Amino acid sequence: MAFEIWGKPMAAKRLFAAMLGGVALVGCDPLPKPLYTEVTPPASFRTEADGTRVDNEGYHLDAQGYRINKRGERIGMVDVQAKTAGDTSNAVAGYWISSTGTKAAGSVATPSGGAGGGPGSIMNTTLPTPTTMPQQAPITPSPGNVAPPPGYR
Find the angle CA(49)-CA(55)-CA(61) to the nearest 5 degrees: 75
Q: What residues are paired with 45 via a beta bridge?
A: 55
Predicted pLDDT at 42: 78
pTM of the model: 0.31
Q: Is 58 left (phi over 0), alpha (psi -120 to 50) or beta?
A: left
Predicted pLDDT at 143: 64
Predicted pLDDT at 19: 79
- Which mean pLDDT values do the consecutive 10-residue runs of the chain (153 residues) have? 57 78 68 74 86 89 88 81 76 83 78 54 68 76 70 69
Predicted pLDDT at 70: 87
Q: Yes or no: say if 89 and 83 are a contact pair by the CB < 8 Å rule.
A: no
